[in-house]
Amino acid sequence: DAGVTQSPTHLIKTRGQQVTLRCSPKSGHDTVSWYQQALGQGPQFIFQYYEEEERQRGNFPDRFSGHQFPNYSSELNVNALLLGDSALYLCASSLGVAVGANVLTFGAGSRLTVL
Amino acid sequence: GQSLEQPSEVTAVEGAIVQINCTYQTSGFYGLSWYQQHDGGAPTFLSYNGLDGLEETGRFSSFLSRSDSYGYLLLQELQMKDSASYFCAVRDQRSGNRDDKIIFGKGTRLHILP
């Protein structure tokens, strides 16, 4: 049973560039949430996708955008990269968005370095 | 606003018991979860408390008191492999919003001494 897969695992960009990160949820899951984790910090919620719609959003600027596809996979796009965007980007999948959907399954993350 | 507070670091000896506390403040609340993350790894789910009381899963137990907005993770018979960061997380729902999200604390780094 495949878990959550993310790509790429590592990437280096320069300021001002754009990046796209990809995520395939665990088999049977239909909801994808994206988190940003700086070194030594907890995951910060970026947004959540369900039924191909953005359902919830954290305190991130519009430079951060996403998409969910009919097969439940998802992309995270970040435009006009800043040095402060350097972090581990985690994708987490779950089943549904109701109160009972309390368990997140995380991917190994995409480590983004902005120079 | 939303906030979760947990100690930044805890040190314990192999074979001992350690408790990691978490206090939270959210606009809505639907349960407290705990996740473990080893260096370079992904967070993995450990436990969930939706109601007050103690939940036990092997060497790990988790407690919740909704009236105190407080919970803890208890690790028994500590092993070196338990050295990791531990995050409490709450499901938060805003009034009038049809959906909710899970937000995380900053994490507690657990050091195990031989």
Q: Residues A13-51: pLDDT tens digits? A: 999 999 999 999 999 999 999 999 999 999 999 999 989
Q: Does B39 touch chain A (CB under 8 A)?
A: no
Cβ proximity of A17 and A32 under 8 Å: no
pLDDT tens per residue across all 114 residues of chain B: 678 999 999 999 999 999 999 999 987 777 899 999 999 899 999 999 989 999 998 999 999 999 999 999 999 999 999 999 999 999 876 655 556 788 899 999 999 999
Q: How far is B2 from chain A (nearest CA, A)?
A: 11
Which structure tokens are listed for B26? 């959210």
Please give the single-letter amino acid code of residue B31: G
Query: Quick check: A41 and B107 CB within 8 A?
Result: yes
Q: Which of B53, B56, B78 is nearest to B68 (CA)?
A: B53
The answer to whether the Cβ–Cβ distance between B102 and A33 falls below 8 Å is yes
CA distance B83 to chain A (A): 14
Tell me, yes or no, if A44 comes closer than 8 A to chain B by beta carbon. yes
Residue B91 with chain A: CB contacts under 8 Å: 99, 102
Question: What does the pLDDT look like over A69-114, one tens digit per residue?
Answer: 999 999 999 999 999 999 999 999 998 766 545 789 999 999 999 9
- A43 cis-preceded (ω within 30 degrees of 0): no
Q: Is residue A105 within 8 Å of A1, Cβ to Cβ? A: no
What token pair was written down for B76? 């028994």
